[in-house]
Structure 1
Amino acid sequence: MEPITLTTDRLLLRPFTPDDTDAVYEECQDPEIRRWTVVPSPYGRSDAEFFTQRMCPEGWRDGSMYNFAVRTREDGALAGALGVNRRALSGTYEIGFWTAKERRGRGYTTEAVLCAARWAFTSLGCDRLEWRAEIGNVPSRAVALRAGFRMEGEQRSALLNKGVRRDTWVGALIPADLGLPGTVAYVPAGGVSAAP
Structure 2
Amino acid sequence: MANPEHKEHLDGLDKISVVSYRSGITLFALSLLALFSAELLCVLEMETAPLLREWSIKCIAVSAALSAANIHVYDKKVRALIAWSSWLGLALFILLPTKEWLYIGFMFITFSGIALKESYCFKVKGLNLVPLLLISSVLVLWMKEPTILAPLVGLSGFIFAVLAIAKWKMPLHFDIGKKASYEI
Scaled by the length of structure 1, the TM-score of the pair is 0.26
Report the structure, 1 or 2, having the larger helix content.
2
Structure with more contact order per residue of length (Cα contacts < 8 Å, sep ≥ 6): 2
Report the structure, 1 or 2, having the larger strand content.
1
